[in-house]
Amino acid sequence: MAESTYSESKCFGCDARCCHDGVYLKDGEEEKLIDFVNKHSEDFADILEMDTPIIVDGDWPGQEDERKTNTLPRDDYDDDYPKHFTKTKCIFLDNEKRCRLEYVSEMHDEDPNDVKPESCRMFPMRLENGKYVIPSGKREDDPDNIGEEYPGFISFMPCINRAEGMVKS
Ligand code: SF4
């Protein structure tokens, strides 16, 4: 098996908060993920040995009938980690903040794009009316801002709000 060339900082290098709730999957992605994990079961032995599913039902209002990657507890976030985000991480995020789908693909000379969910590959762009667009970092434009209880998602990402000059939550 070749050594992975995956580098930790392909983005702005924050605390990987975009991965804290896992990812909602598009049609066909659940099957691809499960096939990939089973094909490389040695690389995912720790996950496979856990008494927890890899993919679960969604719990975001309106997305309960969708499937998403499961999450695990995590407590190594930065001081400015948004208070309304759960202290969790996607089951595929390792302790070095790397997506294991990506680096296991690279270790086996496979294309990560074949297995990494589309939403993760395109992040922080969002799908709007069938096209990926760079979202506004403004809190008032955040489509997941449902009030004080949950004031947003994308507007709390350093990679977006840095560009808007509003780094902290
Ligand atoms: S699949 Fe990878 S990039 Fe997507 S949320 Fe999980 S760890 Fe992050």
pLDDT tens-place string over residues 3-49? 434 334 356 678 999 999 999 999 999 999 999 999 999 999 999 99
Q: Please state the φ and ψ torsions of residue 102, each to the nearest 5 degrees.
A: -75, -50
Token pair recorded at residue 92: 């595929």
Could you give the C-alpha distances from 81 to 16, 78, 123, in angstroms and in order?
10, 5, 19
> Does 140 score more than 70 pLDDT?
yes
Is the CB of 69 inside a 6 Å radius of any atom of ligand 1? yes
The length of the chain is 169
Is the CB of 37 inside a 6 Å radius of any atom of ligand 1? no
Is the CB of 120 inside a 6 Å radius of any atom of ligand 1? yes
Q: In angstroms, rounded to a whole number, what is the distance separating the alpha carbons of residues 131 and 35?
A: 28
Q: What angle do CA 50, 22, 122 make, to 5 degrees?
A: 135
pLDDT tens-place string over residues 58-90? 998 889 999 999 999 998 899 999 999 999 999
**pTM of the prediction?**
0.88
What separation, in Å, do the N-terminal and C-terminal C-alpha atoms of the chain show? 42
pLDDT tens-place string over residues 121-134? 999 998 889 899 98
